């Protein structure tokens, strides 16, 4: 049973859970129709809450030695921007907005020049503060790539499955299923190879726990999107100057 209390696996599980929260917060920031400033405030409030919880756990179990709290907080904006990238592409390319059916929202809040300047300033500040720590840029780039991957391969198809009425759900299902299948297959291959030399029981336990870790982001995101759908939220294609009526139909 000692395996289940392995510190490194506990950290991996926590990292996957926090990663899912960052991707979900980025999804809400990008697709919400609320004013940009309000979305940004809500986004960072949630991210700082996740960061505080994550760092509290690290300091409790590792005396703050795993990442370093200040370093983690400085890198967090980069991870957030990486998670947002596929969503911004979908927003601009498909015109998707997160709207609530059977409600009459105001006209879509368009990005103003001030909003664009604010976003640019945030990116500039992030790069300025992170610059002294670029000696570990490979780690930053690696984690940023993970967030892009999660947004593109897991969150985007899941959002389409739960929040869109589409004829192409089979492709979304294929993308969602491919991630855990590939991950579990790799873990299984590694476990079989290790079991030959290190003992079968230990490797079976390792395989089970690693499968749970791999599935964590998918489960968290699927649960979140299912709750949004139950509450009446949908991803709708909204043309410029349009809004949704009480019945969800488009009107000019």
81-97 pLDDT tens trace: 888 888 988 888 888 88
SS3 83: helix
pLDDT above 70 (res 175): no
Q: H or E segment at 221? A: helix 200-230
pLDDT exceeding 70 applies to what percent of the chain? Answer: 44
The rounded mean pLDDT for the chain is 68
Which stretch of 75-79, 83-87, 88-92, 127-131 has the lowest confidence by average pLDDT? 127-131
pLDDT above 70 (res 2): no
- Range list of β-strands (E), the chain: 96-100, 233-237, 243-244, 250-251
Task: Identify the pLDDT of residue 23.
Answer: 87
Task: Identify the pLDDT of residue 252.
Answer: 40
In angstroms, rounded to a whole number, what is the distance separating the alpha carbons of residues 154 and 92? Answer: 19
């Amino acid at each position: 049973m000692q395996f289940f209390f392995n510190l490194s696996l506990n950290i991996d599980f926590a990292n996957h859970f926090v990663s899912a929260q960052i991707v979900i917060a980025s999804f809400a920031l990008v697709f919400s129709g609320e004013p940009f400033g309000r979305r940004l405030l809500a986004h960072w409030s949630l991210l700082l809450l996740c960061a505080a919880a994550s760092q509290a756990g690290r300091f409790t179990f590792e005396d703050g030695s795993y990442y370093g709290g200040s370093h983690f907080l400085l890198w967090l904006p980069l991870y957030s921007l990486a998670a947002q990238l596929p969503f911004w592409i979908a927003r601009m390319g498909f015109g998707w907005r997160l709207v609530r059916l059977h409600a009459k929202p105001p006209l879509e809040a368009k990005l103003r020049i001030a909003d664009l300047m604010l976003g640019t300033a945030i990116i500039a500040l992030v790069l300025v503060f992170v610059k002294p720590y670029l000696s570990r840029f490979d780690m930053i780039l690696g984690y940023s790539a993970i967030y892009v991957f999660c947004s593109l391969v897991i969150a985007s198809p899941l959002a389409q499955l739960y929040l869109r009425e589409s004829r192409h759900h089979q492709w979304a299902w294929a993308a969602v299923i491919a991630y855990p299948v590939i991950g579990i297959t790799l873990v299984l291959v590694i476990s079989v190879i290790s079991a030959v030399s290190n003992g079968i029981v230990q490797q079976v336990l390792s395989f089970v726990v690693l499968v749970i870790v791999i599935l964590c982001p998918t489960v968290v995101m699927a649960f979140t999107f299912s709750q949004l759908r139950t509450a009446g939220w949908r991803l709708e294609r909204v043309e410029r100057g349009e809004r949704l009526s009480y019945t969800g139909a488009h009107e000019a």
